[in-house]
Amino acid sequence: MIAVENLTKKYAGVTAVDNVSFTVKRGEIVGFLGPNGAGKSTTMRILSAFMPATSGKVTVAGYDVFTQSEDVRRRIGYMPESNPLYLDMRVSEYLNYRAALKGVAGAKRKARTDEVLERCGLKDVRRRIVGQLSKGYRQRVGLADALVHDPDLLILDEPTIGLDPNQIRQVRQLIRDLGKRHTILLSTHILPEVEMTCNRVLIINKGRIVASDTPENLTKTLEGGGTVRAEIRGDRAAVERELRSLPGVKNVTFEPGGDDFIRATVFAPPRNDVRVHIYEKAAANKWTLRELSRVRQTLEDVFVSITRVEPSAPKQEEEK
C-alpha cells in the first residue's frame, strides 16, 4: 500500500527525514512513533502529497506521490496533526463539502455523509457549527472527513491528541473497526494505544527509522527483555552471591520484599531465561521462593530506550 524508499526531506539546512525506507502492506494498522520533531509529521505530509520529498521515492497504492499526486490524494484520507477545520460551517455542511471536493458523486454524497456521521458518533451534532463543538467532537469531525470518500488508506497524525480517556477509548475502538476495511498509518504519543490497536510499529528518531516490528517482538528484543523478579527468603549474603554468579547475569538489585523476603531483580539478556537457574539454586540452598516472574517490558520502555537522548545530553541514568 505504501512503499517508501530512501526518503529524505531537508528544510533550509535541517534534515527532518533522513534516508528512510519502509513499507506498509494492505490491511495493516501501523503505529508511527517517535519523539516530537523526529520527522513523523513531515513523513506523513509527504505521504499525503502535501509536500514533496527532497529525494527518494514514495508510492501509495502504486502511484507516485509526486508525479501522480491527484491519484494518490483520491485514495487517502489524511487527518493533519492539528486537525484543521472550517469553524464557520455546520458539521453536515462541512462533510458534504469535503465529500464533493474529494469527488464523491452527488447521488452518493448524502449516503456517504450519513454513514460517516453515524460511524463517528456525530449524528446528534450534525446541525451544530464546527467552531462551537468540543475538542473531542472536532476530532471526530476530522476523522469523518478523512473517511468520507471511503479511501483505501488512512493517514492519521495524532488522532487522539487532546482527548479525555473516554474519548480516546472511543476513537481507539473506531480505529480498530476501521482497520478491518482500511489500511491505517497513525502517529501517536499514547503508547498503550499502539499496543492495543496496531499490528506493527515504526519508531522514528532524528529522521531515521530505528525500529520496525510488532509490538510484542519489540518488547521481547529490548535489552532488559530477560529481566526476572524473584522473592526469596534465605541468607541475604548467600542469595546475593549465588544470583550474581548465574550464567549471563549482568546485574542484580535487592530490596526488602516484606516478611523477611528479599526482592531480587535479575538483569539478564533476552533469550537467556534465568528463571530455571534461580529455581534450582533455591531448591539446592533450601530457600523459600515466593515469586519468580519475568518483568514485562512495555512499549514505553522500548520507546524510551531507543529514542533516549544520547549521553552527550544531560545524564539521566534510570534505576538500571
- Binding stretches for other proteins (CB under 8 A): 45, 48-52, 70-71, 73-74, 76, 78, 80, 82, 84-89, 97-98, 100-103, 145
Classify each residue of 138-163 as buried b or exposed e, where b means 16 or more C-beta atoms within 10 Å of its C-beta: bbbbbbbbbbbbbbbbbbbbbbbbeb
Least distance between other proteins and beta carbon 90 (Å): 10
Least distance between other proteins and beta carbon 48 (Å): 5
Alpha-carbon distance values, 26 to 43, 61, 149 (Å)? 19, 9, 18
Q: What count of other Cβ atoms lies within 10 Å of the Cβ of residue 268?
A: 22
Indicate if the alpha-carbon torsion angle 128, 132, 136, 142 is positive or negative.
positive
* Residue 102 vs 182, nearer CB to other proteins: 102
Least distance between other proteins and beta carbon 214 (Å): 29
Residue with cell 519489540: 218
Residues 143 and 119 sit within 8 Å (Cβ to Cβ): no
Q: Is 93 exposed, middle or buried (0-12, 13-18, 19+ CB in 10 A)?
A: middle
Least distance between other proteins and beta carbon 45 (Å): 7
Least distance between other proteins and beta carbon 72 (Å): 8
DSSP reduced 3-state for 44? helix
* Residue 11 vs 273, nearer CB to other proteins: 11
* Residue 21 vs 82, nearer CB to other proteins: 82
* Residue 152 vs 213, nearer CB to other proteins: 152
Least distance between other proteins and beta carbon 149 (Å): 9
Reference 99, options 87, 115, 122, 84; nearest CA is 115
* Residue 70 vs 260, nearer CB to other proteins: 70
Q: Is 210 exposed, middle or buried (0-12, 13-18, 19+ CB in 10 A)?
A: middle
* Residue 82 vs 293, nearer CB to other proteins: 82
Those residues whose C-beta lies under 8 Å from the C-beta of residue 56, and which sit 6 or more positions away, are 4, 5, 6, 7, 8, 19, 20
